[in-house]
């Protein structure tokens, strides 16, 4: 029987060890190669994802300040409309916020906010150790929370956390700390349907954010920890105790007591009297959902969505305030409904009020009610004449006329004889306008209206010139927007971008630049268009639209409209910034007892809205293409 010596055993052992070592070397090498490779792949993935999720990070403050419609997943491709929530931050300037609020927010949420690059390694380590110890403690910075609120889903997963880090780092490179903090405070949810610090201050305490007392500021800071169950409406006493404790931790007992005695700022808007505005913004919500259901396929609609709308929270607030003031005159003037549409010259709807009270009637009169525009249609008659070679200084007879058995009358029952086209438009002379339309030709007027995308009814009879064909307020505002942008037809736009709550953007790319879609050329020559715009400016300066004037030095053009027997009253006009239409009337189509005209209440509502909408905006030298 063969035997193995000690030397042989040693040799055999060494050989086996060497063999085993050779078998383990490929595994070690694989780990050595795979680990950095996986880190590289993750890093590249984060970079690509952050590029896709934040197309233009420098516009994040604009994105944060926008109205957003959060729509839960529906069935069979239909969004869950009943649970759709409007994130509607009200405007507030960062330098107006009480310093104590900002100080407490950073102390309680992100103490190294001013120093870290978007991610706080110490906070992440602390959160990891807490998780291992069985406790829950957040390690996200305010920048990470902003990244999650604007671009990512609420679902907890390692992938989402990695994406959050990448987006936060990219935001910090593109924005300064003040912009990031402002965007966060616009997107933060404070419970009870209140988004943003200004809405929270108004909703919980009935005052503006700049007027918050130290205790109220501390209560809102603590609300951010759990807004759905920890807010001043749910548990005011317990929250107030937490707020006092926060003040003591931050400032010490003596200073905290002094701050609590001092209270908040005094002045306009600081008394707790601000009542909640009527929910007219729900008209905008319904319009947005209607557009989204038509533009996206069912498989996209079945997933939870975040819809960034064109509606501007600040302008919507001004629209609601202007409409609220007008409703006080319902009894005197005899109307029961009002509608307002404001858009930019390229069709993006910035504010929308579709009726007097959404809770009583959600039917949107701005989009669906077809009414006679009256004299608000007349600019098309004069523009057709200018295109046919007429000039605004040419004259037309304002004398009795009968066409096909129809005898038009002026609202003052008088005739002025020979008048210039400018005078006829500025003073809204019906007889002169019908005579001009017959000489220009109805077919030419109808062809011009269709070329400019006008969607209203155009009857083939002499009443065409006086706006007897029915239209919606939105159609009319689109027409005036076409005039305001230099002649490029527009279609109302309610949606800027749509994204999945668990992914990137779908549908249209976010925030298109100003200008016609696809670079479409104007459909009106500059000379006749400017002749009309200058005349419409005279309507506001010295004609039937004088009450539409507002302070600030801005050029404004517009036209009044009143239908037969005062069933409808309109004013539609534009500046270099906004195109706005206002309508009042009755749902039963009966005449308004107070016999209001478009130059009365609608023009005043227009002016109330526009004076606020132009705050802080410098006058522009051109109106449309016209110097």
pLDDT of residue 203: 86
Domains of the chain, CATH where assigned = 89-262 (1.10.3810.10)
Judged on CB neighbours under 10 Å (0-12, 13-18, 19+), 371 is buried
**Helix (H), strand (E) at residue 487:** none
Among residues 459, 479, 480, the alpha carbon closest in space to that of 468 is found at: 459
The two structure tokens encoding residue 425: 């438009």
pLDDT digits (tens, 9 = 90+) for 403-439: 999 999 999 999 999 999 999 999 999 999 999 999 9
Q: What 3-state class would DSSP assign to 195?
A: strand
pLDDT of residue 130: 60
Between the alpha carbon of residue 330 and those of residues 102, 317, 581, 583, the distances in Å are 44, 21, 19, 13
- How many CB atoms sit inside 10 A of residue 349's CB? 29
**CA Rg, the chain, in Å?**
32
In this model, does residue 125 exceed pLDDT 90?
A: no
Q: 423 with 448: CB under 8 angstroms?
A: no
- Confidence band of 520 (pLDDT split at 50, 70, 90): confident
Judged on CB neighbours under 10 Å (0-12, 13-18, 19+), 398 is buried
In this model, does residue 20 exceed pLDDT 70?
A: no
3-state helix, strand, coil in the chain (%, to 5): 50, 10, 40
- Confidence band of 85 (pLDDT split at 50, 70, 90): confident
Which position has the higher pLDDT, 175 or 299? 175
In this model, does residue 471 exceed pLDDT 90?
A: yes
Percent of the residues in the chain that have a pLDDT greater than 70, as a whole number: 84
CA–CA separation, 585 and 335 (whole Å) = 5
pLDDT of residue 33: 53
Cα-flanking dihedrals φ and ψ of residue 370, to 5°? -100, 115
Which position has the higher pLDDT, 506 or 380? 380
pLDDT of residue 239: 94
pLDDT digits (tens, 9 = 90+) for 530-577: 999 999 999 999 999 999 999 999 999 999 999 989 999 999 999 999
* Range of lowest pLDDT (60-64, 121-125, 407-411, 553-557): 121-125
- How many CB atoms sit inside 10 A of residue 424's CB? 26
CA–CA separation, 451 and 432 (whole Å) = 25
In this model, does residue 499 exceed pLDDT 70?
A: yes
N residues, the chain:
627
Average pLDDT for 76-101 = 83
* Range of lowest pLDDT (260-264, 285-289, 485-489): 260-264
Average pLDDT for 118-136 = 67
In this model, does residue 246 exceed pLDDT 90?
A: yes
CA–CA separation, 208 and 190 (whole Å) = 15
The two structure tokens encoding residue 34: 């795979």
pLDDT of residue 19: 39
In this model, does residue 16 exceed pLDDT 50?
A: no
Nearest-10 crossing angle of helices 236-251, 99-109 = 90
Average pLDDT for 456-460 = 95
CA–CA separation, 555 and 550 (whole Å) = 10
Which pTM value belongs to this model? 0.84
Local structure of residue 565 (DSSP, 8 states) = G
Average pLDDT for 398-406 = 96
Average pLDDT for 184-199 = 90
pLDDT of residue 238: 93
In this model, does residue 15 exceed pLDDT 90?
A: no
* Range of lowest pLDDT (8-17, 145-154, 303-312, 580-589): 8-17
In this model, does residue 244 exceed pLDDT 80?
A: yes
Q: 232 with 219: CB under 8 angstroms?
A: yes
Which position has the higher pLDDT, 510 or 208? 208
Q: 320 with 554: CB under 8 angstroms?
A: no
CA–CA separation, 437 and 385 (whole Å) = 8
Q: 300 with 504: CB under 8 angstroms?
A: no
pLDDT of residue 131: 56
pLDDT of residue 73: 78
pLDDT of residue 511: 61
Judged on CB neighbours under 10 Å (0-12, 13-18, 19+), 551 is exposed
pLDDT of residue 265: 74
pLDDT digits (tens, 9 = 90+) for 273-289: 655 555 567 899 899 99
CA–CA separation, 488 and 484 (whole Å) = 9
Between the alpha carbon of residue 477 and those of residues 209, 489, 537, the distances in Å are 34, 11, 17
Average pLDDT for 305-329 = 92
* Range of lowest pLDDT (30-44, 137-151, 472-486, 600-614): 30-44
pLDDT of residue 3: 45
Between the alpha carbon of residue 146 and those of residues 7, 158, 166, 229, the distances in Å are 70, 18, 12, 21
pLDDT of residue 503: 65
Mean pLDDT of the chain: 86
Q: What 3-state class would DSSP assign to 486?
A: coil
pLDDT of residue 512: 58
Among residues 136, 141, 98, 107, the alpha carbon closest in space to that of 246 is found at: 107
For 86-151, give the DSSP string: EE-PPP--GGGS-HHHHHHHHHHH-TTTTTSSS--HHHHHHHHHHHHTT-------HHHHHHHHHH
Tokens 């050029």 locate to 555
Judged on CB neighbours under 10 Å (0-12, 13-18, 19+), 45 is middle
pLDDT of residue 127: 61
CA–CA separation, 473 and 481 (whole Å) = 12
Average pLDDT for 45-58 = 68
CA–CA separation, 262 and 406 (whole Å) = 74
Cα-flanking dihedrals φ and ψ of residue 385, to 5°? -65, -45
CA–CA separation, 436 and 395 (whole Å) = 10
In this model, does residue 11 exceed pLDDT 70?
A: no
CA–CA separation, 263 and 261 (whole Å) = 6
The two structure tokens encoding residue 346: 């390229």
Cα-flanking dihedrals φ and ψ of residue 351, to 5°? -150, 145
């Amino acid at each position: 029987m063969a035997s193995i010596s000690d030397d042989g055993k040693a040799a055999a052992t060494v050989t086996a060890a060497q063999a085993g070592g050779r078998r383990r070397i490929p595994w070690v090498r694989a780990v050595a190669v795979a680990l950095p490779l996986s880190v590289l792949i993750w890093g590249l993935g984060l970079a690509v994802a952050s590029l896709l999720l934040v197309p233009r990070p420098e516009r994040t403050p604009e994105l944060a300040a926008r109205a957003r419609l959060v729509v839960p997943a529906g069935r069979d491709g239909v969004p869950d409309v009943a649970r759709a929530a409007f994130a509607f931050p009200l405007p507030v300037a960062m330098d107006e916020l009480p310093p104590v609020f900002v100080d407490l927010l950073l102390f309680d949420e992100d103490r190294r906010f001013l120093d870290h690059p978007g991610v706080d390694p110490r906070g992440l380590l602390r959160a990891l150790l807490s998780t291992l110890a069985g406790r829950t403690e957040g390690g996200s910075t305010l920048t990470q929370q902003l990244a999650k609120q604007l671009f990512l889903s609420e679902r907890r997963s390692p992938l989402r956390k990695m994406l959050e880090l990448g987006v936060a780092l990219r935001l910090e490179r593109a924005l300064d700390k003040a912009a990031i903090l402002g965007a966060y405070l616009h997107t933060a949810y404070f419970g009870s349907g209140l988004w943003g610090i200004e809405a929270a201050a108004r909703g919980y305490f009935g005052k503006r954010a700049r007027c918050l007392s130290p205790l109220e500021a501390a209560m809102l800071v603590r609300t951010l920890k759990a807004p759905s169950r920890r807010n001043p409406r749910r548990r005011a006493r317990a929250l107030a105790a937490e707020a006092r404790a926060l003040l003591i931790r931050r400032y010490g007992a003596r200073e905290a007591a002094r701050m609590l005695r001092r209270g908040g700022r005094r002045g306009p808007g600081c008394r707790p009297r601000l009542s909640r505005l009527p929910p007219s913004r729900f008209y905008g919500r319904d319009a947005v959902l209607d557009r989204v259901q038509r533009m996206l396929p069912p498989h996209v609609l079945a997933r939870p969505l975040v819809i960034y709308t064109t509606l501007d929270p600040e302008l919507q607030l001004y629209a609601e305030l202007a409409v609220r003031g007008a409703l006080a005159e319902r009894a005197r003037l005899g109307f029961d409904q009002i509608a307002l549409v404001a858009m930019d010259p390229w069709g993006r709807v910035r504010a929308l009020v579709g009726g007097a009270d959404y809770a009583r009637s959600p039917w949107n009169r701005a989009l669906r009610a077809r009414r006679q525009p009256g004299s608000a249609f007349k600019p098309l008659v004069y523009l057709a004449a200018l295109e046919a070679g007429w000039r605004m200084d040419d004259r037309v007879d304002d004398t009795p006329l009968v066409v096909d058995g129809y005898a038009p009358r002026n609202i003052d029952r008088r005739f002025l004889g020979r008048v210039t086209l400018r005078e006829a438009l500025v003073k809204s002379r019906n007889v002169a306008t019908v005579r001009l339309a017959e000489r220009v030709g109805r077919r030419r007027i109808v062809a011009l209206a269709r070329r400019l995308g006008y969607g209203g009814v155009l009857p083939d009879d002499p009443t065409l010139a006086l706006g007897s064909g029915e239209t919606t307020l939105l159609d009319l505002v689109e027409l005036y927007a076409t005039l305001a942008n230099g002649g490029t037809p527009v279609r109302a736009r309610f949606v800027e971008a749509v994204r999945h709550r668990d992914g990137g953007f779908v549908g249209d790319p976010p925030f298109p630049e100003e200008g016609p879609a696809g670079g479409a050329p104007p459909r009106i020559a500059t000379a006749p268009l400017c002749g009309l715009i200058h005349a419409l400016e005279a309507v506001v300066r010295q004609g039937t639209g004088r009450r539409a004037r507002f302070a600030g030095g801005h050029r404004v053009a517009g036209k009044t409209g009143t239908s037969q027997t005062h069933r409808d009253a309109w004013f539609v006009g534009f500046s270099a910034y906004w195109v706005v239409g206002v309508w009042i009337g009755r749902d039963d189509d009966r005449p308004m007892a107070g016999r209001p005209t478009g130059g009365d209440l609608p023009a005043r509502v227009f002016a109330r809205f526009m004076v606020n909408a132009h705050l802080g905006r410098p006058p522009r030298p051109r109106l449309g293409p016209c110097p």
